[in-house]
Structure 1
């Protein structure tokens, strides 16, 4: 529930912050709250993904993508994510959450997100996302056309991300995925 409250606050304040292109980096100042931490006194590993959701919403609102999503009734979903922890963000510690689009392929938009304390990376995640409509997944070309954009020429999806995505993918939702340990 606290993440929902944070989301509502973020959505109401993001519009007051400087506008961004969807290919720029969003930086959101935050503080580790009591509801974020676990028994060890640092942000719970699962909570990072909830906080990263907020960073993507900030970028979408400030880049104008959020309004287009609402107008077109598109819903954002996460398809895959991976995270690396370097240092712990502890209770009441200030940090910034940095979010940028890492690249795109024919199916997904990939984000790189970081928790940064005093200019130092503490946590980094890579997240594969899509937008869905009632008709199904929205093509990235349609998203870019709706925004009146093309991807920057220097926006090249790192090879390791493509391999990670292929190596960890489950079958599509319309194909069987039997639960068998092998």
Structure 2
């Protein structure tokens, strides 16, 4: 089941947090609960993606995109992701999450997230492509961001992000059945 209680808690906890600029990082702390684990008694790989939601939603509240999207009739959806799993996260382990929007292009916005253990080691890392949607159609992120600041431009996307975009563009769609 989706962690609605944890999501509401994160939103409540961050309701009075200082506002963030669009490209500033949101930091949050999370605990791996018994219902988050797999057969190997570690954070399930799919659940990791869900827990990353717990960083993105409060970030969008703090940087203002959630309100602007709601007021303008926009929604956002995950449109692609690349994840690296490097260290185990076990039951009741606390992780620090960093969520950072890194830019956008004419189709998508890009967000980087990572989870860190208490020794400072990175446990996992995700590059996420987000879609901005209005009336069930994909729209350029700039359309949404213009409601926040019409002069806003994306920082140049890092080379590794551009390489990921280019590599993903070579992937056939739809896939062969």
Considering the TM-score relative to the shorter chain, is it more than 0.5? yes
| SS in structure 2 at match of 1:162 | helix
Structure 2 distance, partners of 1:114, 1:91, is: 18
Which runs of 5 or more residues in structure 2 are unaligned?
none
| SS in structure 1 at match of 2:3 | helix
Match status 1:90 vs 2:90: yes
Structure 2 distance, partners of 1:30, 1:45, is: 15
1:135-174 correspondence to structure 2 within 5 Å = 136-148=137-149, 150-151=152-153, 155-169=155-169
Q: When the two structures are aligned, how many residues end up with a matched partner? A: 174
**1:171 Cα offset (Å):** 6.7
**1:178 Cα offset (Å):** 6.2
| SS in structure 2 at match of 1:131 | strand
Structure 1 distance, partners of 2:89, 2:25, is: 21
**1:79 Cα offset (Å):** 0.9
| SS in structure 2 at match of 1:87 | coil
Contact 2:78 2:129 in 1 (8 A): yes
2:48 match = 48
Structure 2 distance, partners of 1:111, 1:41, is: 28
**1:35 Cα offset (Å):** 1.4
Structure 2 distance, partners of 1:88, 1:16, is: 32
| SS in structure 1 at match of 2:22 | coil
Contact 1:22 1:59 in 2 (8 A): no
Contact 1:41 1:91 in 2 (8 A): yes
Structure 1 distance, partners of 2:22, 2:42, is: 31
Structure 2 distance, partners of 1:79, 1:151, is: 21
2:125 match = 124
Q: Where do 4+ consecutive residues of structure 1 move more than 3 Å?
A: 169-172
Contact 2:2 2:50 in 1 (8 A): no
TM score, norm. by length of structure 2: 0.88
**1:65 Cα offset (Å):** 1.1
Distance 1:90 1:159, change over 3 A: same
Contact 1:32 1:89 in 2 (8 A): yes
Coordinate RMSD, CA, aligned: 1.9
